[in-house]
Amino acid sequence: MSTRKTSLTDKQTKNGTSKYVLERCASINEYYDIAFKVMLLGDSAVGKTCVLVRFKDGAFLGGNFIATVGIDFRNKVVEVDNLKVKLQIWDTAGQERFRSVTHAYYRDAQGNISLLPQFVLKSLFLRILTAWLTEIHEYAQKDVVIMLLGNKVSVGYGIPFMETSAKTGVNVELAFLAIAKELKHRATQQPNEPRFQIQDYIEAQKHKSGCC
């Protein structure tokens, strides 16, 4: 996975806070104005690693099941309203035995993206979602941005939701961009400025692209 682990992790550890890293990073290839940490959460084999690889490298990891051991991250800088927003996206292992490892990482995350298995029955879906939301609310920051990615399920939890495919790439970029926009707006919002409407943004972008 990523070989560029050191810079941001060290900075965040030194700060010892969950605050945004508001600086222009001087390292080659990686200029950014603002950085956020986002976690990918979900049960094993729902496609977390594939979604991350699709977003970062534009490729699909088909075929073999790639079990993620522990946790790792990839960085990607996206442009939001003329600001370079760096997303440090953590890929977690959903397996129960790794939960204690991942809990420690929730605290610093400004955004969480939960993925759901495909075609799950409604009751099972609600149970899984409730379990992940309980985890997030227990361990993450109070004002963390949550987004739900899934397939063939409809939701009424007041959480932004969209269907994605790591295979075709549909909506993957949009999911991360929407999270980046929400985080950037929260970090730079003026008192009298209206809140960013993330679900409206998602719907508008889907219509623009003619997507589902």
Ligand X SMILES: Nc1nc2c(ncn2[C@@H]2O[C@H](COP(=O)(O)OP(=O)(O)O)[C@@H](O)[C@H]2O)c(=O)[nH]1
List contacts with ligand X (CB under 6 A): 42, 44-50, 61-62, 65-66, 68, 165-167
Residue 88 found at the interface with Mg ion (CB under 5 A): no
Closest C-alpha among 27, 69, 25, 66 to residue 49: 66
By beta-carbon proximity to ligand X, the closer residue of 45 and 155 is 45
Q: Minimum distance between the CB of residue 2 and ligand X, rounded to whole angstroms?
A: 15
Angle at 39 between CA 14 and CA 100, to 5 degrees: 80
SS3 assignment for 38-60: EEEECCCCCCHHHHHHHHHHCCC
Find which of ligand X, Mg ion, none residue 183 binds, CB within 5 to 8 Å per kind.
none
Span near Mg ion by CB under 5 A; candidates 19-27, 60-68, 76-84, 199-207: 60-68
115 membership: H or E segment, kind and range:
strand 111-115
Identify the sign of the CA torsion 117, 119, 124, 130: positive
Find which of ligand X, Mg ion, none residue 50 binds, CB within 5 to 8 Å per kind.
ligand X
Using CB under 5 A, which of 36, 39, 49, 185 touches Mg ion?
49
Q: Minimum distance between the CB of residue 33 and Mg ion, rounded to whole angstroms?
A: 30
Q: Minimum distance between the CB of residue 98 and ligand X, rounded to whole angstroms?
A: 11
Closest C-alpha among 170, 199, 183 to residue 81: 183
